[in-house]
Amino acid sequence: MIGVGYRKDFAEEWENNPDSLSVDFIEVAPENWMNVGGYWKKLFDKKLQDYPLFTHGLSLSIGSPDELDFKFLKDLKTFLDSNNVVIYSEHLSFSKCDNAHLYDLLPVPFTEDAVKHVVKKVKSVQDILERPLVLEIVSYYSPLAAEMKEIDFVNAIVQESDCQLLLDVNNIYVNSFNHGFNPVEFITLLPRDKIAYIHMAGHLQVDDNLIIDTHSEPIINPVYRLFEFSLKWLQKPIPVLLERDFNIPDLKEIQSEINELKRLYNKSLQKEKEHVS
Ligand SMILES: [Fe+2]
């Protein structure tokens, strides 16, 4: 299954010409659509008649010291239930502190205390939403007060909270480039059975030693290669999303990236079948 982030930027174009984009599902940030009404809501509801909905939240802020926002979680559950949402994913990060929104997804310190704190919050979220939380490993530029390795931090959270993981292949590539580690090794140390969803995106290299995770460019070849490796390693079909948040191209260009993802995905499934038979 290959999906696309549904955006107002191309919603009308897609509605007027349904054949201009061929995908298996759509993804939205629930915060952007929970309180939408009128024309845009009608357009969105029409799309939901044809496509399963996946979600990728922005404001849960699972890593912040603040309490969870229970009113938000109640509204979120209503949105997820009423739209038969397949997956609710969020970022393993924080974006709020002392109730101030920071407008960025910042990394949680890789510490034992943070593991305990995040695990407690993940369990509450899963209880309230009555579904697994699928957490994305985020890109970051400077680790905060790290006391342990990132991989050990992620694995401890998954093991202790029983949440699932979103493998954003581009994030792992960006982090491996910026922080000098082997992305293949990092991926193989993740709990394979807990990976429920894949993201693919483009980024911007701004310096010899720095990539910014912009989601504003086409996916580059090394990220496609890491994607192929991830599919082979996972040994199971898994939904894959193309993320494009800025510098949105026309639907033809989006479709050509979707086609490449589909081609690699189908090739991997075929190889898997040959391997089994
Ligand atoms: Fe992502």
Residue 53 has pLDDT above 80, yes or no: yes
Task: Sketch the domain layout of the chain as residue ranges.
Answer: 2-276
Q: pLDDT value at position 140?
A: 87
**How many angstroms separate the alpha carbon of residue 136 from the centre of ligand 1?**
7
Residue pair 3/242 in contact (Cβ under 8 Å)? The answer is: yes
- pLDDT band at residue 102 using 50, 70 and 90 as cut-offs: low
| Ion ligand 1 nearby residues (CB, 5 A) | 168, 199
Handedness of CA 263, 266, 272, 276 (dihedral sign): negative
Q: How far apart are CA 186 and CA 152, in angstroms?
A: 10
In three state form, how does the secondary structure of 180-243 look? CCCHHHHHHCCCHHHEEEEEECCCEEEECCEEECCCCCCCCHHHHHHHHHHHHHHCCCCCEEEC
**How many angstroms separate the alpha carbon of residue 123 from the centre of ligand 1?**
22
Length of the chain: 277
**How many angstroms separate the alpha carbon of residue 128 from the centre of ligand 1?**
24
The 10s digit of each residue's pLDDT in 167-179 is 999 999 999 999 9
**How many angstroms separate the alpha carbon of residue 76 from the centre of ligand 1?**
20
**How many angstroms separate the alpha carbon of residue 200 from the centre of ligand 1?**
7
> Domain 2-276 carries which CATH code?
3.20.20.150
- pLDDT band at residue 135 using 50, 70 and 90 as cut-offs: very high
**How many angstroms separate the alpha carbon of residue 276 from the centre of ligand 1?**
31
**List of E strands, the chain:** 2-5, 25-28, 53-56, 87-91, 93-97, 100-107, 134-136, 164-168, 195-200, 204-207, 210-212, 240-242
